[in-house]
Amino acid sequence: MVASSELVRMEGIDKSFPGVHALDGCRFDLRAGEVHALCGENGAGKSTLMKVLAGIYPKDAGRILLKEVEVEIPTPRAARDLGISIIHQELSLMRHLTVAQNIFIGREPRTGPLRVMLDERSINRQTQDLLDRLNIRLHARTRVGDLTVAAQQMVEIARALSLNTEVLIMDEPTATLTNAEIDALFQIIRQLREHGVGIVHISHRLEELRQIADRVTVMRDGRYVATVGAADTPIQQIISMMVGGRTLYEATPEIPQDGNREVVLEVRHLTSPPLVRDVSFELRRGEILGFAGLVGAGRTEVARAVFGADPVSSGEVLLDGKKLTIHSPSDAVQHGIAYLSEDRKRYGLALDLDLETNTVLAAFAKFLGPLGWVLPERVRATAVARVGELAIKTPSTKQKVKNLSGGNQQKVVLSKWLTADARVFIFDEPTRGIDIGAKSEIYRLLNDLAAQGKAIIMISSDLPEVLRMSHRILVMCEGRITGELGAGEATQEAIMQYATERVAQAEVA
């Protein structure tokens, strides 16, 4: 159906937290049967504005109208009662329960004489009817923990729609999905749009806008900037509105072509079952070596094996020509190898600790006195220096890292490894889930590290990013390196040819 009547209008919304004015007079509107994208850099206020609409945060000022009637939304339950549901970037499903149990949790139908027994048959039947209606190919009795991230996201959508949702807010729904999974999600979104559901789509993937959005609202520094049509607004114009005219620095400088640029890291015939099979490569000083390939090609598994996080059945890792013995990540750290995981919140940060502590975690011994006591002034001075060096946006070095934006969290992980004085950096999906401005800063930091002579491996599923940032590119398919491309000869087509080479050969066989 064509977008028509107005579902939501937010006017003059203000919200402050201690030391932060998160929203300053913001406005937003949503029509029935449209997908309205909400864009902006990390910290622009997108998620905060939607959490106000979803009843998670109370507004300090302003008003919210639902179908032209002013409403108060003090709690998430009040929002649900009004037909407003939010699907967070970090899914909130209970993995040990079934799909049906997750969808009906807290409002399960009861049976029996005193109506105290859970009516499993009823919730399974209602859930299966809902899934079938949405063309979601899942079984109501499947345990959620056995599903892919994409399938779990479909369960979240089904749960929201089981509440008679008219306004569906989706915060970074495609951040961890493959292209095929994104296509399936967009098909569901289009179906919901046809049924008159208003959808708010928060995403850093600007290339998705033309595929799915009808309108785009841009926010910057907690303020409303503009609302434009998605189809007739160039992406570069949207980026310009997001960053406020800043020049984005993304180009990678050439490595000086001297004959003495030595090999820092060498991997020989590395095998780590079940996915990594006979992988060999060299990494040179001052080089950014890109790893490309389809999901499941084995790129992350190579990094984890080199770093000692996964067992190795055969092969060698050499640093400066000397064979290393790496049985664990701590061994790798002692040799000056750093790994920045694609899941920074799980593997890279202690979220409930402050920025200072996270900065020194990988080199804690450097900050102990003669009697084994922590030297707080040395810790603080190091953290302050890193904040300035990496332009980390934080109220103070005592701020818990869980309260920082994604881009700033990534910088804290980097600050940890700089403090540990690493020589080899392995970046796994370094810009996943962060905005265009923060990406630019990460790119600048990568280039600065290379200029300092650090050796860098960059694993990325974003082909333009790999092409833009890499001096050489290795392409993997089914656990093996299938191609190597220099910066001058690399194209998306060439990368995809190597990325599917092994699969194509198998199909022919």
For the chain, the structural domain boundaries read 6-243, 263-336+423-509, 345-420
What is the CATH number that goes with domain 6-243? 3.40.50.300
Residue 259 has pLDDT above 50, yes or no: no
Residues 16, 180: contact at Cβ < 8 Å? no
User: Given a cut of 90, is residue 148 above it in pLDDT?
Assistant: no
Average pLDDT of the chain to the nearest whole number = 86
Per-residue pLDDT of 378-400, as tens digits, reads 999 999 999 998 888 899 999 99
Residue corresponding to tokens 């032209």: 68
Q: Which residues contact 339 (CB under 8 A, 6 or more apart)?
A: 303, 304, 307, 309, 329, 332, 426, 428
- Give residue-wise pLDDT tens across range 88-105: 877 778 889 999 999 888
In terms of DSSP bridges, do strands 314-319 and 288-293 run parallel, antiparallel, or are they unpaired? unpaired
Over the stretch 451-494, which tens digit does the pLDDT of each residue have? 999 999 999 988 888 888 999 999 998 899 999 999 888 888 88
**Statement: residue 501 has pLDDT above 70:** no
More confident residue, 476 or 150: 476
Is residue 99 within a helix (H) or strand (E), and if so which, with residue range?
helix 99-104
Q: How many CB atoms neighbour CB 210 within 10 A? A: 11
Residue whose entry in the numeric block shows the structure tokens 């590395």: 270
DSSP 3-state assignment of 234?
coil
pLDDT on residue 504:
41
Q: Which two tokens stand for residue 503?
A: 């699969």
pLDDT at position 503 is: 41
pLDDT of residue 2: 43
Residue 158: per-residue pLDDT:
85
More confident residue, 404 or 455: 455
Burial letters 49-73, b for 16+ CB under 10 A, else e:
bbbbbbbbbebeebebebeeeeeeb
Q: Which residues are bridge partners to 292 per DSSP? A: 475
Choose which CATH entry (3.30.70.2860, 3.10.110.10, 3.40.50.300, 3.65.10.10) describes domain 263-336+423-509. 3.40.50.300
Nearest-angstrom CA–CA distance, 509 and 43: 51
Predicted local distance difference test score (pLDDT) of residue 505: 44
Do the domains 263-336+423-509 and 6-243 match in fold? Answer: yes
Encode pLDDT of 421-463 as tens digits: 889 999 998 887 676 777 788 888 889 899 999 999 999 988 8
| pLDDT level of residue 3 (50, 70, 90 thresholds) | very low
pLDDT score recorded for residue 128: 92
Q: Residues 359-392, buried b or exposed e (16+ Cβ, 10 A)?
A: bbbbbeeebeeeeeeeeeeebbebbeebbeebeb
**270-316 per-position pLDDT tens digit:** 999 988 999 999 999 999 999 998 777 899 999 999 999 999 999 99
Stated length of the chain: 509
Q: What confidence tier does 405 reach under pLDDT thresholds 50, 70, 90?
A: confident
d(CA 411, CA 283): 23
- Which tens digit of pLDDT belongs to each residue from 48-69? 999 999 999 999 999 999 999 9
pLDDT above 80: residue 256? no
Q: Is the pLDDT of residue 255 over 60?
A: no
Average pLDDT for 115-131: 83
- pLDDT band for position 254 (50/70/90)? low
* Predicted local confidence at residue 115, as pLDDT: 64
Write out pLDDT tens, residues 63-87.
Answer: 999 999 999 999 999 998 999 999 8
* Residue pair 272/312 in contact by the 8 Å Cβ criterion: yes
Nearest to 458 by CA among 321, 282, 288, 302: 288
Place of tokens 């079952």: 273
